[in-house]
Structure 1
Amino acid sequence: MRLYYDEGTGAPTFTANIREGNPGPPGPYVEISDDIGDLTTWRVNLSTLELEAVELPAAPEDVTAERDRRINGGFTFDGVVYQTRPEDRENMAGAATSALAAITDGAQAGDLRWHGGGSDFAWIAQDNTLVPMDAQTMLSFGQAAMAHKQAHIFAARALKDLPEPPSDITDDALWPA
C-alpha cells in the first residue's frame, strides 16, 4: 500500500493500493503496511522519508480528566499533605463554615475546642496523623482547599483555550503546584 503525503509538511493525503503494472497516481509516497491504522497519527519525515508517529494535541475531555485527577490528588497546607477527594472537600467546606461561625461567635486563636465538642479539633492528614486546628486555621484550610480546586479549574480552562493544547497534559509544568 502507498501512503501519499504533502511535500511541504509530510502530512498524509491519501493511501492507494496499487496493482502490479499500474504506476499509480503521481506525487510523493512511501510504502506502508496495510494495518497502519489511523493516518492522522502519522507523518512522513521529509529528511528520512520514513513514517514517524505524531503526538496529537490533548482532547478537552483529556484535559478535564487530568484536572479532576489533580484536584482529587491532594494538596499541601502548612507543610502537610491532605486528601481532596470530593467527600474530603465537602467535609472541609462544612468544617470551614463551622469555623467561620465560631469565629463570629468569638472563638479565639489557639482554642482547639471551638467546635463545641469535648475534645480538641483536629483534621486527619493524608498520612493519617492528626493535625490540631483552631477555628482560624480551619477557616484558612478550607479557603486553601477552595483555592487548590479553583487554580486547577482555571489552568484546565487555559489549556483548553490554547490554539493547540500540548499532547502531554500530565506535564507538571502545565499545572499549579
Structure 2
Amino acid sequence: MPEVVHYADRTTGAYLYATDEDPPSNSVVVTAPLSSTYIWDGTVWVSPGPTSDEIEAERDRRVSAGFEFTVDGASYTIQSRSSDRENILGAAGAAFRAQVGGKGAGDYLWDGTGEEFAWITADNQRVKMDAPTVVALGDAAIATKQRLIYKARGIKDMSPLPSNYTDDKWWG
C-alpha cells in the first residue's frame, strides 16, 4: 500500500490534500502543523514565536522567583512572591519611619518589638537587619521588579520575538 503524503500550495501555503498518487502541480510535501498557530513559510510549518502573554508570564515567574540581596558581605536569596513583596515594602516603610525617628546602622531593635529585627530568607535563615538595611531591601525588591518589567518590554519590542525568550541572557 502506498504511503499517504500531504501537500500544500507552494505559493500560499494553503493545505491542499493528502494523496498516495502523483503530487498536484505547484505543491510541496508538508507535514501537518503542530498547532493551528503555526505558519507556512513556503517550505515548512514554523512557530510564529512566543506571544506577549508568554513573555509576560515569564516576567511574572521571574519577579516571583526571588532575588539576591547582600547583608554584611553575605548574599541571600529573598523570596519575592506577591505576598513577600508586600511584606518587604511594609517592613521598608516601617524601617524608613524608624530612621526618621533616629534609628540607624547597627541598631537591630528599631521595630519597637524589643527583639532584634531579622528577615527570614528563602532557605529559612534569620538575617539580622537594621533599619537602613531593610530600606535597602525594599529598594532592591522594587529595582528587581522594575528591571524585569523593562527587560520584558525590550523582548516584546524585538522582531522577530526570540523563541528562546526564557533564556537568562535576555533577562540579566
* CA contact 1:3–1:32 (8 Å) conserved in 2: no
Q: What letter matches 1:40 in structure 2?
A: Y
Q: What letter matches 1:114 in structure 2?
A: W
What is the root-mean-square deviation in Å for CA atoms of aligned residues? 2.5
Counterpart Cα distance in 1 of 2:30 and 2:50 = 29
> Which residue number in structure 2 is paired with residue 95 of structure 1?
91
> Which residue number in structure 2 is paired with residue 16 of structure 1?
16
1:57–1:134 CA distance, 2 compared to 1 (3 A):
same
TM-score with structure 1 length normalisation? 0.81
Total equivalences in the alignment = 163
1:92–1:29 CA distance, 2 compared to 1 (3 A):
same
Counterpart Cα distance in 1 of 2:144 and 2:137 = 10
| Runs (5+) with no aligned partner, structure 1 | 7-11, 46-50
Q: What letter matches 1:15 in structure 2?
A: Y
> Which residue number in structure 2 is paired with residue 63 of structure 1?
55
Q: Percent identity?
A: 36
* CA contact 1:4–1:29 (8 Å) conserved in 2: yes
- Spell out structure 1 runs of 4+ moving beyond 3 A: 18-24, 35-39, 41-45
TM-score with structure 2 length normalisation? 0.83
| Runs (5+) with no aligned partner, structure 2 | 1-5
> Which residue number in structure 2 is paired with residue 48 of structure 1?
none
Counterpart Cα distance in 1 of 2:7 and 2:19 = 11
